[in-house]
Every structure is written in C-alpha cells, then in structure tokens.
Chain A
Amino acid sequence: MESTTPSRRTFLSLSLGIPLGAALAACGTSGPTPAGGGGGAGGSGGSKATYWYLSVQPQEGVRARAVERFNKANPNGQITGTALQNDAYKTKIKTAIGAGQAPTIIWGWGGGTLRTYVQAGQVEDLTSWFDQNAAVKDRLFPSSFGAATIDGKIYAMPAETMQPIVLYYNKKIFDKVGVQPPESWGDIMALVPKFNAAGIAPFSLGGQSRWTNMMWLEFLFDRIGGPEVFQAVFDAKKDAWSHPAALEALTKLQDLVKADGFIKGFSSITADSNADQALLYTGKAAMMLHGGWTYGSMSTDGGDFVSGGHLGYMNFPPVEGGKGDPSNTVGNPGQYLSISSKATAEQKEIAKKFFATAVLNDEDVKEWAGTGAVPIVNGADSAFAGSKDADFLKFVYGVASNAKSFAQSWDQALSPTAAEVLLDNIAKLFQLSITPQQFVSNMNAVIGS
C-alpha cells in the first residue's frame, strides 16, 4: 500500500505493456548480466546516487523537491531521481535488483517485500547507522519501524506518510435515511437492511482489486481476536489461521456479504478507477472502508462532497465481545527507503546523508502535510494549522498516535508468494465460493512461504 492519491495499485492500467513475450524474455534472463530495465541507473560506479520513486502527483512533486533541495545543499554528492508509474515500478525494481542494477535508494512498502530483498542480500543493514544517528530515529513514529525491521534489524528508513484504513460515510445519506453512524458490528448489521430498503448500497467496495476486501478482514480479525491473531501468521506459527477468532471473523464477513452489505456487482469494480469512491460521493453507497489516501482524491473528484462537509469518517467500530482494542488500526505505517547493498561506498554515504538531512526535515514535513496526509513525524500535527484539511489530518494523526497497534496491511506484511494466495482466497471468500473453513485450510497450507 502506498500513498498515491488516486489509487493504491494502478497495475491494471499501467502494466499493460508486459505481454507474454516480455514475460518470457524476463524469465529467460538469469545471473548478473544487465537484463531489461537496467537503464542508465547502474548500481555501481559513478559518484551520483540514484533514487527511484513513484510518479503520482502531488506526491511525486514532494519527492522530487526533496531531492532538489538536497542536491542544492550538497554539490559534491548528487542524487538523480527517477519517477516511475506504480506497477511499472514494482516490476522494474524487482528486475533491476535481480539483475544487480538496483538504484542506490530503493523506495518501498517494507514488510514482506523488504524481507525478500534482505534474504537475497540486496539491501544494507541500517541498524548501527540508526544507533549512531539516534536523533533521526527519535523524530519518527516508533510504530513506523515495525515494517522496516526484519529479524530484529532495521533495513529501511521509514519515510513519507502514515495511511490508516478509515471507515468513511456519506452524511447526506445518513440524514436522508435517518440513521446514525455505526458504533458496533451489531449496528453495522442493523444498518444494512435499512439502507437496502432505501435503495442505497450499505457499503461501496472495489472488490476486483482484492486488497480492498482484505481491509475488512484486517479489522475484523483485530477487533475480534486482537493483533496477536495475524501476528501468529506473520511469525509463521503452524496452523495460525485456525484461531477461533479467525473463523468468527471470516463467518461474520460472509454474513455481511449474504445480507447484501456490499454494492451489487462489487466483485467487478476496481479501486484503481476510483469507482468505489465515486459510489460513496454520488450517494449510491452509504459507507466505504478504505485507505486514508482516498480522502485526497475524493476532495478533488467529489465536487463539494468533502469541502461541503458531507464526508464523515471514523475508526472501525468494535465487535461485540471482541478482545481487540477498538483504538487499534491497520494500513500503511509509512513508506520505506532502503539502500542497495550493491551501491558503492560513496553512493551509500550520499544516501545516508539524504536520509539524515532531507527525508522528513521540516520543509519536507510541511510539504507532505500539504498533500492532505500525515507525515510519520512526532508532533507533525503542529504543521496542520491553517490547512483546509486540518480536521481530517488531526483525525488521522489521532488514530495513528492513539493506536496501541498499527498493523501493516497483510499483503505488504507477508511475502509476495503468500500474499498472492491470500488475495486469491479473500476474493473467493467474498464470492462465497469457499467456506471460512476452506479459507483457513488453504491459508494454513502456505504459512511461512
């Protein structure tokens, strides 16, 4: 999950240029010879450090200006930035790292993908650097380091913004139907028939994207069983998915699907096209569980929906009898910058200097807050004053700083291999084509892979 405004994964629209031939060709390259995608950004030689990042605005501008400021301040140690589209980036960075052509600074999401880099020996261990530069570390949200830490060592600098998953609702629709926002899972289930009777879908959902469905399970697992339930999966404990709380969460979710809780046709809607957000602000759906990053695009695309105060937002409500703390949240605890272990010593020094002096410095923090997102810096809330989005920013800051647990999105926390199986099974769970029990046994089979 990244903080791109319009959508988290624009892969549908972006990676179309990878037909079979290219796939075969990529399969056919092996070893350290430059494969496709190396470009001029070699990992070795030269005194310039390289940095690849995502290209969606306004985030790209913030990233590019941070590099510009750094270059101006450091004429002897320059960074060359390259902006790439989201999914093109995902494929290209993997190919580049596999071919030993990684950029000096590797932008990423931490978690499972970072773990694969670490296992392949491709990224620097930054633990001792953070020990020596305690000031850099202490400025950042402690919770953001979880996804940067693999086996007790820190392999990435947390950067940019936090993006918890938020329960959004359309205030106009709630007034029209004459109901109150839900305060518990029971309230949600009680609201469903009321909205359906009024001809409005209770929840919008871009189900074809699959990770959108996953956000529901992340919260249900947490609220029913606490963060330990998924933590056991993450720690590769045998049969971790068989936890009774997991079964209860999966059953509750299917109950909601069966009660027509989600908009008709949700399994063919993609989040990439922002159609799910459009359903909320056009009043076709009453509520939506989605990432904090959708706030920005809803205010741009939704007419007066956000500016007119019609958008309501809250943390996911508790489930009756559940063990999880209702202040917990899930989502993106941050974005992550790693240093390629294949870079020259000189390039590594430039990267570290960039981390220490340019990433989330005061100016950078101000710029990030200006995009309607919350930088992962302690006390970032002081930068919100005067922002037209101050209320939302304060809400997000409050959620993130009060959360006892800020769990990383499952598909980012797990290895890409396990995540793919997870997303497939979640899609089938929402299709009601597998039972909770089948989901559990399918997932138990890939624990630790």
Chain B
Amino acid sequence: MPALAVFVAFGVIPLAGVLFLSFTSWDGLGDIQLSGLTSWQAVLGDPGLLHALWVTLLVMAASWAVQTPASILIGVFLAGRQRYRALLAVLYFIPLLLSSAAIAIAYKALLDPNFGLGAGLHIGLLTQDWLGEPVLAFSVVIFAVSWQFIPFHSLIYQGGVRQIPRSMYEAAELDGAGRVRRFFSITLPQLKYTIITSSTLMVVGSLTFFDLIFVLTAGGPGDATRVLALDMYKRGFQANLMGPASAIAVILVLVGLALALLLRRLGGGDAGASQMEGA
C-alpha cells in the first residue's frame, strides 16, 4: 500500500495534471483557462512536432544500434574471471558516473572548431565543424550518448553472461564448437531476455535525452537535433506555452508506453519468467 500511495502521489497525480494542462492555455503566470483542444491542434498541426518525433526516433534507433552490439561484446569480455578484467570494468564504468551535463560541456569544449582538440593538436581531421553541420551534430550526439551509457549496458550483459550455465559451454566444447560458434549458438540466445531488458531501458531512456542535447547543441544547428523532450522544454519554459508543452509531454508518455509494451511483446509473454539452469 505505501508503494501505491507513492505511485499515486508522484506518478498518477502529476500525469493527470499534465493531461489537464494540455487542454488549457497557460503562460505559466496568469490564470489557467480551459481552451479545449486548441493546444493539441497547435501541436499536432505543427510540422515541428513531426520533425521532433522523427529526430527522437532516429536518436533512439541509432543509439540502440550503436550501443547494443558494443555492450554485448564488452559485456561478454568482462564476464571472464581474470583479475585485470575486474579492474577494467571499474575504470570502464566511470563515464556513467559523470553527469550528462558535464559530459556535454567536455565534448563541446573538445570539439570546438577553433579552440578544441583538433585545433590544439593541429589535426585537420578533428577540426570539423562538429556541432555546426546537421549530420555531424547528430553523430556527435549519438557518440556521446553511447560513450555515456555503453558501460551501464555492458554491466547488465556481464551479469547476463555470468548467469549462463557453464555446462552448456562445456558440452559445446566437447562437440568441437569454436569461440564464434559458441557465442552465436549459446551466448546470444541465452542473452535474449537480457537484450530485451537492456533494449527497453535504452529505448525508453532515449525518449528523455534532454540535458546532454540541450547543452551540446541546444537542438541545433537549426533544429537538426531537436528531440521531443527538448521541444517540450522550449515550448513550455522558453516560449511560455504550457498547454502545447503538456500535450507533448503526454505524447512522450504514450510513445514510451507503446515502445515498452512492444518490446515486451517481442520478448514473448514469458519475459518475466525465471531462467534457471535447464529451463
């Protein structure tokens, strides 16, 4: 029951508030006035929303595609028992401990075309207008996000790999299966639920990327990296349009729920079931 109370107080009530606000017009200062569907019409009729949704989905897909293979490989590597791997795992975990804002500020400084790493070391290749070209800026965002979160997902995979019964590998070795074959035939299938868990975290988490992008590119250049969460902030707190911003917040919640459900479906109905040896 306390859990339910907490959920209602911090989950349901704010959500209902946002839903209510999306049917009002409010500039954050004066009285809140019901305005029916005008906020929704303004948001849904704005090509900016489709663009932001598209960028959000692109960020989601690209960061998943970069992070998942890398995290699995690193996770499998770290699952070994050697001592140096434990040390590596600790070192490797550091990016996750930094705040996204700090990471963004560091990347911004390093990538500065005039005072950054490339200019400082006189390396022409690094002296790109990293955050000023739409494609480059988008790539930098994906890179920074991956750099930050791969350690976390590697950790999940490391745990997943360690759960795989050793007997399976021993049996495979007796049958003459090589490393690669063992990876694809045992490790990967056995990691199915770990992949689903990690992917759900990645996908739903990428909906809320805000601070990193806000600091790194502010949605620019133009609106090349303007994701939904940033769009919401800009409308709500910079343009004083709380109604449309709340509408976007509702959309974000719906998209997140839909994606989480979809991933659960993909994993089959038994994603919550136990995976003990022999199961």
Give A contacts to B, CB under 8 Å. Answer: 12-13, 16, 18-20, 23-31, 91, 94-95, 97-98, 116-117, 119-122, 207-208, 263-270, 273, 275, 278-279, 284, 415-417, 419-421, 424, 427-428, 431, 433
Q: B21 is contacted by which of A30, A264, A268, A273 (Cβ under 8 Å)?
A: A30
Determine whether the beta carbon of A116 is less than 8 Å from that of B240. yes
B214 near A117: Cβ-Cβ < 8 Å: no
Cβ of B200 to closest chain A Cβ, rounded Å: 17
Q: Using Cβ atoms and an 8 Å threshold, which residues of chain B touch A279? A: 114
Contact between B223 and A265 (Cβ–Cβ < 8 Å)? no
Instruction: Check if A268 sits within 8 Å of B236, measured CB to CB.
Output: no
Q: CB-CB < 8 A to B87: which residues of A?
A: none
For the complex, give the distance between the alpha carbons of A121 and B31 in Å. Answer: 10
Contact A421 B208 (CB under 8 A): no
What are the nearest 8 A-B pairs in CB distance? A120-B30, A28-B17, A268-B131, A265-B113, A420-B239, A28-B14, A16-B101, A265-B129
Give complex CA distance A284, B127 in Å: 15
Question: Which of B25-77 touch A at CB < 8 Å?
Answer: 26-32
Interface of B with A (CB < 8 Å)?
13-18, 20-21, 26-32, 99, 101, 105, 108-109, 111-115, 129-132, 137, 208, 210-211, 214-215, 217-218, 220-223, 229, 232-242, 245-246, 249
Given known contacts A265-B132, A268-B130, A431-B221, A20 and B208 CB-to-CB distance under 8 angstroms: yes
CB-CB under 8 A from A25, the residues of chain B are 14
Closest to A209 in B: B218
Known: A91-B237, A120-B30. A27 touches B214 (CB 8 A): no
Complex Cα distance, B113 from A267, in Å, reads 11
Q: Is the CB of B114 within 8 A of A24?
A: no
The secondary structure that dominates the A interface is: helix
Contact B21 A28 (CB under 8 A): yes
CA distance A256 to B233 in the complex (A): 32
Query: With A268-B221, A275-B114 as given contacts, are A24 and B240 in contact (CB-CB < 8 Å)?
Result: no
Do A275 and B29 touch (CB < 8 A)?
no
In angstroms, Cα B108 to Cα A284, docked, is 19
- 5 A-B pairs within 8 Å (CB atoms) are namely A12-B214, A12-B215, A95-B28, A120-B29, A264-B113
Establish whether residues A427 and B220, one from each chain, have CB atoms under 8 Å apart when the complex forms. yes
- For A419, what are the chain B residues with a Cβ–Cβ distance below 8 Å? 239
Q: B239 touches which one: A23, A30, A417 (CB < 8 A)? A: A417
Complex contact B131–A417 (CB within 8 A): no
Contact call B137/A29, Cβ cutoff below 8 A: no
**B113 contacts A29, C-beta separation under 8 Å:** no
Question: In the bound complex, do residue B114 and residue A284 qualify as a contact, i.e. CB atoms below 8 Å apart?
Answer: yes
Given contacts A28-B21, A275-B115, 16 further A-B pairs with CB under 8 A are: A16-B214, A23-B232, A24-B15, A27-B21, A27-B249, A30-B21, A31-B32, A98-B29, A208-B218, A263-B114, A264-B129, A265-B129, A267-B132, A268-B220, A416-B238, A417-B239
A428 to B51, CA, bound (A): 15
Report Cα–Cα, A98/B236, bound state, in Å: 13
Known A416-B240, A420-B238: A20·B229 in contact at CB below 8 Å: yes
**Contact partners of B99 in chain A: CB under 8 A:** 16
Nearest CB of chain B from residue A436's CB, rounded to whole Å: 16
What chain A residues lie within 8 Å of B246 (beta carbons)?
27
Best-buried of B27, B208, B217 by chain A (most CB within 10 Å): B27
Q: Assess the A121–B30 pair: CB atoms within 8 A.
A: yes
B-side contacts of A424, CB under 8 Å: 223
* Chain B hits for A13, CB < 8 A: 105, 215
Known: A116-B240, A416-B240, A420-B239. A427 touches B221 (CB 8 A): yes
- Once the chains are docked, how many angstroms separate the CA of A26 from the CA of B242? 10
**Contact: A23 with B233, CB < 8 Å?**
yes
| A29-B237 contact in complex given A98-B29, A120-B29, A275-B115, C-beta closer than 8 Å | no
Residues on the B chain within 8 Å of A12, using CB: 214-215, 218
Q: Which of B15, B20, B215, B239 contacts A416 (CB 8 A)?
A: B239
- Chain A proximity of B178: nearest CB distance (Å): 46
Most B CB contacts (10 A, CB to CB) among A13, A27, A266 go to A27
Which of A13, A25, A122, A424 has the most chain B CB atoms inside 10 A of its CB? Answer: A424
- Determine which residue in A16, A94, A95, A419 has the highest number of CB atoms from chain B within 10 A of its CB, and name it: A16
Cβ B222 vs Cβ A268 within 8 A: no
* Complex CA–CA separation, A272 to B272 (angstroms): 48
**How distant is the Cα of A303 from the Cα of B16 in the complex, in angstroms?**
56
By beta carbon, the residue of chain B nearest A417 is B239
Which of B26, B28, B105, B222 is the one whose CB lies under 8 Å from A428? B222
Which residue of chain B has its CB nearest to the CB of A93?
B29
Q: Please tell me if the beta carbons of A30 and B32 are within 8 angstroms of each other in the complex.
A: yes
Whether A268 touches B113, Cβ cut-off 8 Å, given contacts A12-B218, A27-B236, A97-B29, is yes
* Complex-state Cα separation, A433 to B101, whole angstroms: 29
**Minimum CB distance partner of B208 in chain A:** A20
Q: How far is the CB of A213 from chain B (nearest CB, A)?
A: 11
Q: Are B222 and A19 in contact (CB under 8 A)?
A: no
Closest beta carbon of chain A to B9's beta carbon, Å: 11
Instruction: Give A268 to B116 CA distance when docked, in angstroms.
Output: 12
> With the chains together, A25 CA to B115 CA distance in Å?
39
**B253 CB to nearest chain A CB (Å):** 9
